[in-house]
Amino acid sequence: MTTAFVNGRVLTDNGFQTGMAVLVDDGNITALALPSDPRVRAAEKHDLGGRTLLPGFIDCQVNGGGGVLFNDEPTVDAIRAIGAAHAKYGTTGFLPTLISDDAEVMSRAIDAVNDAVAQGVPGVLGIHLEGPFIAPERKGVHDPAKFRIAGADDIAMVARRHGGVTLLTLAPERASDDVLAQLVANGVIVCAGHTGADYDAMHHALAMGVRGFTHLFNAMTPFTSREPGVVGAALEDRDSWCGLIVDGHHVHPASLRVAIAAKAPTKMMLVTDAMPPVGSDNPNFVLKGETITARDGVCQTADGTLAGSALDMAAAVRNTIEMVGVPYDEAARMASTYPAAFLGLGRTHGHIAAGYRADMVVMDEAHQVVETWIGGERVFATA
């Protein structure tokens, strides 16, 4: 039975439109049509009550949620639980993210994501391996005991073909041209992060196929007057994407405004870097044997080191509007359309248009999530 989403404000490729119905059949959007269209009249109606219908949010960096840390439980059940926790906040697509770990844990995580994709676990699009091929001097909360230079076995493991995408964050200065070339040739999306590279090294890595930057500004060389650093290379480059953690703690709003103004249009995307407290009543989790507590939206170690975030994508969109001053439609695209393009999924995800998956989120006037739909199935609704 075709479902017609009616009586709402819809974010289309041409901006917000009212008086338009969205037709969904078999998990896909089949048309946008006027209410008078015979297809709309014949369909089962879903009344949006004047609320806003957006493309579902896509989060490329999800370490955990619902009380689960992916490193601790690299299983299909854990991925399912993490996805369900984030779906409450409009996330319809995500990459379970493994923080730097041993090869055996990495292999288990890759297998779990492969199985989750094969089983159709809602929302899972692939895997993000954040490390362990990163720089000790920019380690953040990662365990330097896990760091190493990528060898042939590592490349073969990371480049294994599966049904989803593979995103790898590495420090370009710790990877040879040959390693970068092999990863890119095998379809791995390579991002720079946790890196001490200078501008010249980063510029060269971009030419070698590095496609993006993991949590811009954080754990990378800054933009200064005489050395543009990784941040300068990221903002100058027209073809790469940058992930932004917009929680008011990782990056100052003024820095975000400057970066968004400098970067090529459509190349800034929101990420959460979320940890287990998102979607959980428990503010505590253990990382590397140390208890981390989320307080006032900040996850920190005892010495004040940021340990991921307690951010969800709906809050990231609100913050981008309210703290950074980005228009609503652009903030929503930073959470949906642009990450879909970054992941190579721009023809199937990230738009409300005919031929796209019916991954959608309904938000009220306060930019709070009311409903989340994945593949035409409602997976979350407020009471």
Which residues fall in the annotated binding site? Answer: 130, 141, 194, 215, 218-219, 226, 250, 306-308
Strand partners, 381: 371
Alpha carbons 61 and 366: distance in angstroms, whole number: 25
**Angle CA 110–66–157, to nearest 5:** 10
For residue 111 the two structure tokens come to 């297998």
Residue 205: alpha-carbon gap to chain centroid = 22
Three-state DSSP state, 117: helix
DSSP H helical segments within 88-223, as ranges?
A: 103-119, 152-158, 177-185, 199-207
Whether 77 is catalytic: no
* Active-site position among 101, 237, 273, 312: 273
CA distances from 226 to 198, 201, 213, 377 (A): 11, 15, 21, 53
Alpha carbons 343 and 115: distance in angstroms, whole number: 19
Residues 6+ apart with CB under 8 A from 156: none
- The dihedral over CA atoms of 203, 133, 283, 77, expressed in degrees to the nearest 10, equals 120
Catalytic residue annotation: 273
